[in-house]
Amino acid sequence: MSDENKKIARKFMEEGWNKGRMEVIDEVMSTACRFHDPVFPSLTAGVENFKEHIRTCRSAFPDLKFTIEDMIAERNEVVLHWMARGTHRGMFLGMPATEKNAAVSGTTICRIDKGKIAEQWVDWNLLTLMEQLGLATASPPHMASQPHTAKLQR
């Protein structure tokens, strides 16, 4: 079962995300699949919503490519550690195109039920992307090491 689930998850990433083949999304994803990604809290359940999400991301990063760095399968879940690379050529999360390249790592957990992805949890760092695109900067190192000493008001 674990090997079959890995094949489903790999096909989802390589064919769906990397090649934009929407018919593959129908093959590997449940029609009522649920999504959990703090960067996209308004992404609602359903395969059609996810296909639109892929189209939107690939429109912003037409050369978007996910590389699976590691894959672990246990019971009905597959954990993918990935690296995404692309050139920012269109609107993304309200950010106009910068024409800059970026690379971001992340993790996706796919829960598979009856041979299809039924639920996904995704974790990646939006700030890392924004820094590479020149749209944000991290706190200076001396600031990041300072303890937070804000007083609570009662």
Give the torsion sign (CA, 42, 30, 78, 52).
negative
Pick the more confident residue, 1 or 84: 84
83-129 confidence digits (pLDDT tens): 999 999 999 999 999 999 999 999 999 999 999 999 999 999 999 99
**What's the CATH class of domain 2-137?**
alpha beta
Chain centroid, CA 34 distance in Å: 14
Angle at 53 between CA 87 and CA 130, to 5 degrees: 40
Q: Where are the domains of the chain?
A: 2-137
Angle at 43 between CA 39 and CA 46, to 5 degrees: 145
One-letter identity of residue 34: R
